[in-house]
A and B are shown apart, each in its own frame.
Chain A
Amino acid sequence: MRYKRVAAVAAAATLALGLAACGGDDEGTGAGSKDFAAGSTMERLNKAQKIKIGTKFDQPGFGQKGLSGKPEGFDVEVAKLIVKELGIPEDKIEYVETPSKVREDVIVNGTVDLVAATYTINDKRKERIAFAGPYYEAGQNIMVRKDEAAITGPDSFKDGTKKVCSVTGSTPAEEIKKYVKDVATQLVLFDTYDKCRDALKGKQVDAVTTDNVILLGYIAKDEASFKMAGDNFTKEPYGIGVKKEDTDFRNFINDTLDKAFQDGSWKKAWDDTAGKFGATLGDAPTINRY
């Protein structure tokens, strides 16, 4: 009796597997479903049929973990485009939370296979890792309270009276230091932008500065309290972080992104996520193949 039951379970499992494999063929997923050069990262991931992706869990519109238990946003969607191209089904993705400060370390240590986490491409970071992309070009901006008139742009901090908040270790935090007269009296850094928003609302600070898309997310949620002050004053190209020496994988991601720019899946990913906040996507950025 027991053997029969085991056999039945085994049969059912085989059937399910068979079905899954069939379904997989339609989508072009499954081990060996795509041809990659032997020994490449793409081949390894395709054979393993799973991938670890580092993203943010607290970035509205880009990577935010909600009630579904999985992060959602533009970064996640872009990562899914790459995963699809690798022939791995979406549900085999393992998401790893990568706050700004650990992003290089998780790539170098191999904790994740790639990082898509509002990750600004810059030379300092290129010393330790490599970037594919950019897949989006954000820019730094300033959010103020609705009734604020004295702050019109980054230069408003030069007189040393206005206080500004950003996130520890982020590119915008470093950038605004160039405009701030005295860091000790004007700059506050927290670990998340939520705290900055609370400080802005509570009037401990006069402005919050970071990439425009993040600020737009907050403004969309509370238009009665906040507004933008002026235009973007930097360019922040977001890239996909991979291991420094893995040029093949980087080229593969670049090709995938180019394809996504062409066939509209990139634009759709945006419209489904960050685009909902009213941020404009603009033209597809030019891939930087260095």
Chain B
Amino acid sequence: MNVLIDKFDVFAGGFWLTLQICVLAAIGALILGAVVAVLRISPVPPLRAVGTTYVNIFRNMPLTVVLFFAAFGLPALGSNADFLRIPGLDAIFSRLGTDLPYFRFGLIALVLYTAAFVCEALRSGVNAVPAGQAEAARSLGLTFGQNLRYVVLPQSWKASVVPLGSVIIAMIKNSALVGFFGVVGDLSQTADQLTSAGGYAFIPVAIGISVGYLIMTVPLGALLDRIEKRQAVAR
């Protein structure tokens, strides 16, 4: 178990990088997922079709395949995902701005994949709002946007926050895959590095990285429980 103490800095570095990619991917997935959810519940059939197609593709494809497309398909198309080199943001998340594109590729794959689940979590929340609410809002003359913003979404939030949290927790665990697609130094790749090049036994290292993931997921789960309890009062 000495590896946990001897190589603490390596674990800490891996944790930090995984946290970075998870924060960015969560933000990206929530935004994209919300957009797709709006498409899927919009009254315009072509937009609904676009949203449904998106969800069908990305929810039903293995993340590994999405990562393959991102890490080896995008370069084949001549893109290094340079649009993600967002000034300002790359000062905090230094990997966003590097010449090596694999952090950005991994991020894109995680966002695209998770957004499909975020969309469905949000949509299930919207569906939980009684139809009478939206009809009443429409009869008052609210537009589709106003309807969503003032009537439907505030109520749907209660029903979707817990599934959304589960989606984000799943995403944190899924992020372990990016280490195998060229992102050097995240938690899972750290384990690989320590066991094969470092020659450390696998189990202590596995315990170390598990603790790293638990530090991210367990507090998030606890936070969700609290939010759920507070929201429950409103019913």
What is the interface of chain A, defined by CB distance below 8 A to chain B? Answer: 100-102, 104-105, 124-125, 127-128, 161, 163, 168-171, 173-174, 183-191, 195, 198-199, 202-205
Is there an interface contact between B100 and A186, defined as CB atoms closer than 8 Å? yes
B42 within 8 A of A: no
B98 within 8 A of A: yes
Is there an interface contact between A128 and B72, defined as CB atoms closer than 8 Å? no
B147 within 8 A of A: no
Q: In the complex, what's the smallest C-beta–C-beta distance from A32 to chain B, in angstroms? A: 38
Per-position 1/0 for B76-103, Cβ under 8 A of A: 1000100000000000001100111110
B141 within 8 A of A: no
Could you show 21 A-B contacts with beta carbons less than 8 Å apart? A101-B195, A104-B199, A105-B202, A168-B180, A168-B193, A168-B196, A169-B196, A183-B185, A184-B94, A184-B98, A184-B100, A184-B184, A185-B100, A186-B100, A189-B184, A190-B180, A190-B181, A195-B72, A202-B75, A204-B101, A204-B182
- Give CA–CA (A188, B189) in the complex, Å: 11
Is there an interface contact between B95 and A184, defined as CB atoms closer than 8 Å? yes
Residues A170 and B101 in contact in the complex (CB < 8 Å), given A188-B182, A204-B75: no
- Give CA–CA (A128, B201) in the complex, Å: 9
Is there an interface contact between A185 and B99, defined as CB atoms closer than 8 Å? yes
Residues A199 and B75 in contact in the complex (CB < 8 Å), given A169-B192, A183-B185, A204-B101: yes
Q: Which one, B80, B185, B196, contacts A100 given CB within 8 A?
A: B196
What is the interface of chain B, defined by CB distance below 8 A to chain A? Answer: 72, 75-76, 80, 94-95, 98-102, 180-182, 184-185, 189, 192-193, 195-199, 201-202
- Give CA–CA (A195, B195) in the complex, Å: 21
Q: In the complex, what's the smallest C-beta–C-beta distance from A98 to chain B, in angstroms? A: 11
Which chain B residue shows the least CB distance to A165?
B182
Chain A residues, Cβ within 8 Å of B197: 168-171, 173-174
Is there an interface contact between A183 and B184, defined as CB atoms closer than 8 Å? yes
Q: In the complex, what's the smallest C-beta–C-beta distance from A211 to chain B, in angstroms? A: 14
List 4 additional contacts besides A105-B202, A195-B72; criterion CB under 8 Å.
A161-B99, A189-B182, A189-B184, A198-B72
- Give CA–CA (A169, B200) in the complex, Å: 11
Which chain A residue shows the least CB distance to B181?
A190
- Give CA–CA (A184, B103) in the complex, Å: 10
Q: Which has the most chain B C-beta neighbours within 10 Å: A100, A198, A204?
A: A204
Chain A residues, Cβ within 8 Å of B72: 195, 198, 202
Chain A residues, Cβ within 8 Å of B185: 183-184
Chain B residues, Cβ within 8 Å of A204: 75, 80, 100-102, 182
Chain A residues, Cβ within 8 Å of B201: 105, 128
Q: In the complex, what's the smallest C-beta–C-beta distance from B57 to chain A, in angstroms? A: 24
